[in-house]
């Protein structure tokens, strides 16, 4: 099969790329559509028949379809605006059906030639006209005058997207009540040592997406501090301060592999070490459980500790080479995993929270490069520059040696709207540990 046409596709998320480009009306986009339409694409049984049944208009994007794995598809887009160059309008009219044929064949190829209908954004827009068009605005406008601007903006967007989702999928009464029961189960599972809502947020990729946005703002300066990632639900505000050279292993596990971890915390601007920086570290034991999940074998604050860098910004302590583990399957998160037919495993990792006066705080995780789950983390938190090699140790107290240098961005640096973010004690409180 000739796959030369695939060179025009991005390396990741072809369906996302197609959807993102839907509705563009400039001449360059239409030229790209025309160029793609001339490429040889594979054909699949049923594709031609499906195309013949589609009703297309030259002045609106193609309607969407979806493939068996649930990937949504919106046409490459041949809409145009009044005043667009005539050549662009002409290209749109004549390339629309060709581009649609190509995109449909692309998705059939990527998804094993199985087609099924599923809602798209276009369907959601059309659904608005089937139901009361004023209902959502009425709910949003019910907010009172004392609501602050940010809350009004966030809640208005949340309500609007939630209502659009309900209309798009035409949620049934039974499905709505299932959702209510699921939310209730999150509350029932949550205890003083288990934050199920936080876990659900991670499973759905919400915390990782929020972290991506925050990291993007920081990187807008053009310089990059150490990559951040999610906090996770296992941080504790009660972690004790320890001396450099101490071990955080207070309850040894027979399978634990002791690691000497050390490095320097540096200033992004000056590249010099930062004295007095605090490194808060926590990790699961070799059985894959944190201290408050395993109270029979671990005392509080096992594999937890805070360390302060010396005058050169250096730190060093003993920990374990981390172990991969499964998220608990007995609560709402487990139900969600089973419903979505997903695995619950996190790659092995060490948590770090780093803070220093005058610098932006950092929350990150470090992963052994050879862990089997780093390419398929169930909470989508792994970043390539956080993959590390654990080397053989020359220290007689440790099996492994891990060097990791940390770079913090000053708070005064112009790195987007996160300038002046409160230091860690004001950001995290007791509730974060739940």
Q: State pTM to two decimals.
A: 0.65
How far apart are alpha carbons 25 and 82 in whole angstroms?
10
CA 151 and chain centroid, separation = 23
Q: Are 302 and 291 in contact (CB under 8 A)?
A: yes
Q: Residue 330 burial by CB count (10 A; 0-12/13-18/19+): exposed, middle or buried?
A: exposed
338: left (phi over 0), alpha (psi -120 to 50) or beta: alpha
Q: Are 73 and 19 in contact (CB under 8 A)?
A: yes
What is the DSSP code string of 21-71?
TTT--SHHHHHHHHHHHTS-----TTHHHHHHT----TTSPPPPEEETT--
What is the DSSP code string of 189-206?
H-BTTB-HHHHHHHHTTH
- DSSP category for residue 421: P
Residues of the chain predicted below pLDDT 50: 3-116, 414-434
How far apart are alpha carbons 121 and 60 in whole angstroms?
13
Is 2.60.130.10 the CATH number for 202-408? yes
User: What residue spans define the domains of the chain?
Assistant: 134-171, 202-408
Q: Are 312 and 273 in contact (CB under 8 A)?
A: yes
Q: What are 315's strand-pairing partners?
A: 263
Residue listed under structure tokens 């060179």: 7
How far apart are alpha carbons 381 and 365 in whole angstroms?
8
**pLDDT in the model for residue 121:** 54
Strand 258-267 with 406-408, pairing? parallel
C-alpha pair distances (Å), 335 with each of 152, 206, 399: 33, 18, 39
pLDDT one-digit tens code per residue, 230-255: 999 999 999 999 999 999 999 999 99
C-alpha pair distances (Å), 139 with each of 157, 160, 253: 12, 9, 55
Q: Are 404 and 253 in contact (CB under 8 A)?
A: no
């Amino acid at each position: 099969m000739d796959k030369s046409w695939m060179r025009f596709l991005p390396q990741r998320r072809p369906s996302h790329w197609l959807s993102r480009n839907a509705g563009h009306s400039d001449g360059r986009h239409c030229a790209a559509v025309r160029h793609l339409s001339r490429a040889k694409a594979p054909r699949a049984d049923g594709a031609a028949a499906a195309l013949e049944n589609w009703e297309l208009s030259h002045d609106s994007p193609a309607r969407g379809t979806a493939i068996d794995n649930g990937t949504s598809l919106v046409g490459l887009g041949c809409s145009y605006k009044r005043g667009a160059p005539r050549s662009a309008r002409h290209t749109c009219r004549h390339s629309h059906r060709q581009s649609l044929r190509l995109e449909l064949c692309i998705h059939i190829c990527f998804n094993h030639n199985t087609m099924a209908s599923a809602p798209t954004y276009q369907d959601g827009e059309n659904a608005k006209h089937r139901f009361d068009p004023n209902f959502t605005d009425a709910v949003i406008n019910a907010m009172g005058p004392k609501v602050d601007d940010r809350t009004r903006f966030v809640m208005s967007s949340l309500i609007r997207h939630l209502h659009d989702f309900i209309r798009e999928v035409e949620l049934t009464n039974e499905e709505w009540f299932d959702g209510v029961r699921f939310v209730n189960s999150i509350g029932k599972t949550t205890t003083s040592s288990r934050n199920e809502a936080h876990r659900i947020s991670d499973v759905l990729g919400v915390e990782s997406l929020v972290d991506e946005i925050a990291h993007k703002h920081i990187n807008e300066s053009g310089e990059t501090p150490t990559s951040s990632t999610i906090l996770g639900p296992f941080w504790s505000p009660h972690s004790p301060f320890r001396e450099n050279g101490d071990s955080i292993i207070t309850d040894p596990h027979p399978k634990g592999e002791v690691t000497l971890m050390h490095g320097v915390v540096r200033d992004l601007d000056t590249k010099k070490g930062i004295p007095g920086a605090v490194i808060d570290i926590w990790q699961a034991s070799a059985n894959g459980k944190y201290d408050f999940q395993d109270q029979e074998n671990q005392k509080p604050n096992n594999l937890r500790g805070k360390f302060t860098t010396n005058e050169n910004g250096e730190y060093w302590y003993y920990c374990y080479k981390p172990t991969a583990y499964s998220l608990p399957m007995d609560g709402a998160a487990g139900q969600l995993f089973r419903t979505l037919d997903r695995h619950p495993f996190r790659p092995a990792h060490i948590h770090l929270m780093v803070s220093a006066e005058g610098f932006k705080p950092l929350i990150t995780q470090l992963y052994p490069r050879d862990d089997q789950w780093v390419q398929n983390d169930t909470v989508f938190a792994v970043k390539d520059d956080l993959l590390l090699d654990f080397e053989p140790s020359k220290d007689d107290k440790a099996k492994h040696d891990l060097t990791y240098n940390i770079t913090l961005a000053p708070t005064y640096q112009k790195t987007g709207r996160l300038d002046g973010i409160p230091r860690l004690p004001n950001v995290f409180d007791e509730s974060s540990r739940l």
